[in-house]
Structure 1
Amino acid sequence: MPLLLKDMTFSHEGNKTFIDNMVNFEKIRMIANTIRAVRHCRSQPFNPEVCQPNKNHAEVRGYVRKLCVIDNQRTLTTLSYRLEPRRT
């Protein structure tokens, strides 16, 4: 639900309501799609067993311990360009 609210906020704040004195229907469509998703989510009963994978505490802890944090900006930039080269 928080992501849907974030989507709606960005759709509203990131797009003009009027363009050249005309209603921006693309913005309205984006907000309407988010509202449809919210209504769909609210119409379904919440089942926590479906939402949460069957991971035990030790598995999650082991996964987190194996994570490698990269806090060097130059390294992160290099990796980023390797995945998505600059367009020239």
Structure 2
Amino acid sequence: MTHDSSEPAIGDLSFETALKELEEIVGRLERGDVPLEESIKLYSRGEALRRHCDRLLKSAEAKVEKIQLSEEGAATGTTPLDVD
């Protein structure tokens, strides 16, 4: 797929911006009023946006920590979230 210079590079998008664009693409494709050639380009960009959002989510999950509580319910520390 060739990159349209009017579209921002996917790798530069925040999760929220990428997700919003992906939702717009899905909406356009679901309406079915887009010519075939443009549908193919939209689908390709949408797939790239989906992969980007997935990478960002996995990165965020790796940073999340679980709070360890004592028997009394007091916070005693944290451990990394298991992402397996």
TM-score class, shorter-chain normalisation, is 0.3 to 0.5
Task: Return the structure number with greater helix share.
Answer: 1
Could you state the TM-score of these two structures normalised by the residue count of structure 2? 0.39
More strand per residue: 1 or 2?
2
Determine which structure has greater relative contact order: mean sequence separation of CA pairs < 8 Å that are 6+ residues apart, divided by chain length.
Answer: 2
Rg larger in structure:
1
TM-score (norm 1): 0.38
